[in-house]
Every structure is written in C-alpha cells, then in structure tokens.
Structure 1
Amino acid sequence: MERGSMELAGLRIHEGFHERLKKGGFKGRVHSVFQKAVNIMDEEEVLYTLLSAEMDEGPMALQVNAANLSALMIRPGDPVHGDADRLTLGPVRFTLRDVPVYELLQEEYVPSPFLSENLIRARAVLETRKEKEQSAYEVEMNRVLKKRVSSLKQAFLEENTDGILSASYSLVGLGPGLTPSGDDVLLGILTILNRKNHPYEQFRPLFEEIVDYARMQTNVLSYYGLRRAYDGFIRKDITDFASALLKKEKFQQELERILMIGHSSGQDITEGILMMLEIIETRKKECNNGN
C-alpha cells in the first residue's frame, strides 16, 4: 500500500523529551510499532516513545492525537527527525508547537493507616487474576517467579545486600515478551524505592548495578523501562496506584487500571509494588512488637 504524507497534532509531551527536541537536530529511526505505542531510537541509541491518545502519561514520551498508531503507515526503520515545533516519522508529521509539557512526579512515602488493609485487598485481587492463567507455561513461569520474588523479599527483610543483588539479578529477563515478568517486578519495586523517606532508602543505589546488568540481559524496551524507572520516570498509572495504596479513596479504580497494562505486565508490576510495601509493613509490626 502506498504511503501518503499525514499531519497530526501532539497532545502532551514529557519534559525530558521536550528538552531534547528544544535542542534541535533530533535524528533517529523507528524501532518498533504497536497499536498504542511507537518506539524511536535516536542516533545515540536512546529510546523515546509516541503514545496513543488513550494512553496515560509515560517517560520520555509524546502523546499524539491518534487512537491506533499501527494504522498510520509508520514502519520500523523509518527515518525520524524533529525539533521543538515538529517531529516527523516516515510519512507522518506531528506538530508540537504549544503542546503542554508534563512531569512525572512521585510523592514521598508517608506511613498510612490504610496501607495494611489495602495491601490485603490488592493481594487477594492479584492472586485471583493469576489463578486464571491458561497455559502450563504460564503456570510454571508464575511458580519460578514467585520463588525468586520470595527470595528477594527475604533478602530485604534481612537487609542482606548480597542477597538483594543476587535475587534481583535472577529476575532480570525472566519470562517472554516485550517486558519479561521479572523485569516488571523490578520496575514495581523501583516505584517504591524511588519515593523519599521510605525505610529501605539505603538500598536504592544497588539498583543502579541491577539496571546496568539488565542492559545486556534483557531486551532494549524492557531495559529502558527499568532505566527510566531508576531515574525516577515511571508512567502515571503505576505511580497513581502506588499512591492509592496509601489512601482511603480511589484504591479499587487505580488497581484496575494498573492490572490492565499489557498481557501480564500490570500483574507483575503490582507484585513488585506490593512486595516492597508488605516488607515495610512487616518491619513496622516487628518494631511495634519490640523485635
């Protein structure tokens, strides 16, 4: 099918992508095309993303006025160039002038009287969803994942640095897909570790080593998900759920949103978030009991 030129409007852009385009001379290529996202690799092999209008705000991303990006005739390998006013991918130009810029901010960790009950509710929903797995492969993958997450949880409880590193390395690249299950769990963990004033702040620097390890041990899309997460840029639906766990209202609504991410990514990210917060709750109870 012949490809004709097309012009569409940008809707919102992440501050990091905006700052890069303001410098001008942005060049690269289309890396991959999906219905809700188009990934771009620039000349320095840094990943940026276009998101469909229905997606939530994401890191280093531009949300555009189109529902199905795979229908735009953009193809992997197409040249990309842009500046502060426009971004062109193959035959499609996106206008950026006066497009609103957003930040991806994370709230501080604040102890909450609602957390314990919300964790129990979220865990029950998550386990029910996992029981719906169909294939023998998915059942086995969930068993392996659960065992390795349990090892990581224990290492955190013991504040065992070597154990945290070893268990985290065992999760990198675990599972199939664009974002393997193990990587998604680690992203969920980073969602909590990136919040200031949580009890395990001192272990966050370990994850720079884990993210560096992931560069060669998982695929490029999953690596950049972890890289952005470590840098503090996490998509809005994920951070909104983490915040909702600490509050009385909107918990169920945000839980449903995060569970809708990908085929199983939402479940695995939720697993990581719940794990870290369960660790914090366990340690709080131990301290309250005088242990």
Structure 2
Amino acid sequence: MINSISGDTDFIKVINNSTFTGFVHSTFNRTFNIKCFENGDLYTIACNRLDNGPNTLIVDIDNMKPMKIEANDRVRVEENLLYIGDQLTISIDKACKWESVLPTYPCNVEILKRNLMKMKDFINIHGVGGGMKKNVITLNLFETEVSNMLENRTLLLLNELLNDRISSALPHAVSLLGLGPGLTPSGDDFLTGLFTIFNMKNSPFYPYRSFCEDVLKKAKTLTNDISYMTLKKAAIGKVRESIISLLNALLIENDEDLNLSLNKLLNIGSSSGTDIALGIVFGMEANIRAGG
C-alpha cells in the first residue's frame, strides 16, 4: 500500500463516499489515468514529482513503471482505499486536500501589463517550439503548415473576441481543437490557457465564460479523452496548481516568483506548458484590450 500525499478535494470526497469504480484508461511513467464508470470522467494518479490538478491524486512514489499498472486493470474503492487491480492499493488518510481556485482579475492592470511583457520574453527564450510557438528551423512542410494554421486561427479568434463577436469567435476556437503535436494537441493546450482566463472573476470576459462550454460541446469528437478532460475542467476554471501559481505571480511585482512559476509551467509535457502559457498571454492581453 502507498499513501497519497495530496489530492483534489472532489476526488477525495468520491473515494470517501466509496462510490468510485472504473478501469485503468492509460499509463505513463509518471501518471496513469482511470476512467470512472459512474460519471465517465478521467481521474489521474500522479507521482510525487508532479503538481496538484483537478481529478488528481499525488502519491508517494517517483515512478509508476515499477507498479506494473496496465490498461483495463479494474479499479474500485473499499473502506476509503483505492484498489488498482491486484497490483496497488492507495490510502488517502494522510492526503492534504487541494482545490483549484483562480485569483481575481485585478482592477489595476499596470503590474499585469509589465509582467506579461516579461512573460513573453521568457517564453521567447525558454519556450518549446513546434506548437503555438514557431520553431526557428522547421523540420518538414507538415510542421510548417500546422504552425501556420495555429497562428492564423488564433488571430481570427482574437479579432472576433476583441470586437465583442463571441458567437462568431466560436468556430475559430473550435478549429483549434485537436490541432498540433503532442498527447494533448497544441490547440487544446492553448484553449486550456484561454479558458482559464475567461474564468477569472472580474475579468472583462468573465460574463462570457459560457463560451468555454460552447467550445467544449464540440470537443468530444475532435480530440482525445485525456485532452478533452483537461478542457472540460478548464472550461469551469479548474486547472493545475502550476497554472494558478503563474496567474498569482502575474498579479504581483516579484520577478523571482514569476520566473519560477513560468519555468514550472513550461516544463509540462513537450510543448504543452508553452502552449498553455501562450493561451494565458492571449487571454490576458485580450482582457486588457477589451477593458480599455
């Protein structure tokens, strides 16, 4: 048996209520995902090197591979213990509860403006190319074409949002779904960042956050299960701890905090962190321009 270090409040509540059954959906070195029979959602078990996130438990091991978890292993809960086939039992007794709570959009955006400039400079130097950020040297014509499509579609999306044409912006956002490289495609990661900003209270786009749900309605058949689940949570403002840390850092004058939080985010996946970060930049700048 291993202990959970921390976990999403809702996930822990489900386990405590002993109402969770499912099967292992997918496995990786640092995580595995469980498909829940009760609601169809994906839940993640992550090693201790990763950050908290929606529907996620962080457990006290540094690599999942020795656990020999396999796809389709049955999952159940008994007496507050999570059983993964016959291979693994997870206790939540010592788990710290974590909840995704976004900061409020600031009334004065001057600090935010300065930090966004620093953030863009940081991404230009340290961000991973090949997705929303163009590679200086492209390896093939397909990569170049995908990169151009991502750029053109985000520009069309921005134009509609800034002109308060939310319904016209919808097809441009939908056109990003499933587009680009990665387990979670670059277009999806970008939208995750954008959805996050839509859900910041007091932001100019907060009254239009149903836009995120409208995009999500189209996403089920346009991307994979893992990416869809991330978008589903981001559409209601539920995102990873590293994203929330960055948002908090953007609202204060502390370059060290900003750089540390940016570095953590950019290290997610291959280009996922960079793509999410650029979605955040896009959303923040759109809010600033919409707010006058």
1:241-263 Cα offsets, whole Å, 9 max, x none, are: 12212211111111111111100
Cα pair distance change 1:83/1:177, threshold 3 Å: farther
CA distance in 2, matches of 1:261, 1:27: 29
Q: Which residue matches 1:236?
A: 241
Q: What is the match of residue 87 of structure 1?
A: 82
CA distance in 1: counterparts of 2:215 and 2:79, whole angstroms: 34
Query: CA 1:205–1:133 in 2, change beyond 3 Å: closer, same or farther?
Result: farther
Q: Give a deviation string over 1:53-105, Cα, whole Å, max 9, x none.
A: 01111101111011111221111111111146211112111122242211111
Structure 1 counterpart of 2:49:
54
How far apart, CA to CA, are the structure 1 residues paired with 2:271 and 2:66?
Answer: 25
Alpha-carbon distance between aligned partners in 1 of 2:154 and 2:247, rounded to the nearest angstrom: 19
Deviation at 1:33, TM superposition (A): 0.7
Distance 2:19 2:163 in 1: 50
Tell me, in whole angstroms, the C-alpha distance in 1 between the residues paired with 2:50 and 2:269.
Answer: 12
2:265 counterpart letter in structure 1: I
Paired position in structure 2 for 1:17: 11
Deviations 1:107-153 (A, max 9, x none): 11113322112212222232343345653244432221111111111
Deviations 1:17-64 (A, max 9, x none): 011112214211000111111100011322111011011111011110
Match of 1:267 among 261, 269, 274: 274
Number of aligned pairs? Answer: 279
**Aligned to 1:213, which of 194, 218, 227?**
218
Q: Which residue does the alignment assign to 1:190? A: 195
2:63 corresponds to 1:65: no
Is 1:84–1:97's contact at 8 Å kept on the other side of the alignment? no
- Distance in 1 between the 2:276 and 2:31 partners? 19
Identity of aligned residues (%): 30
Within 1, Cα distance between the matches of 2:219 and 2:71? 24
**1:203 paired to 2:193:** no
- Judge conservation of contact 1:22–1:83 (CA < 8 Å) in 2: no
How far apart are the structure 2 equivalents of 1:228 and 1:17?
13
Are positions 1:96 and 2:92 aligned together? yes
Which stretch shifts more, 222-231 or 93-102? 93-102
Query: What is the identity, as a one-letter code, of the residue corresponding to 2:121?
Result: A
Q: RMSD of the alignment, in Å? A: 1.6
Query: Which residue is 1:172 aligned to?
Result: 177
Relative distance call for 1:278 and 1:95 in structure 2 (3 A) is: same
The gaps in structure 2 that reach 5 residues or longer are 130-134
Q: What is the rounded CA distance, in whole Å, between the counterparts of 1:141 and 1:107 in structure 2?
A: 33
Distance 1:119 1:83 in 2: 47
Q: Which residue number corresponds to residue 32 of structure 2?
A: 38
The 3-state SS of whatever aligns with 1:213 is helix
CA offset at residue 283 of structure 1?
Answer: 3.5
Aligned to 1:8: 2
Amino acid paired to 1:204: R
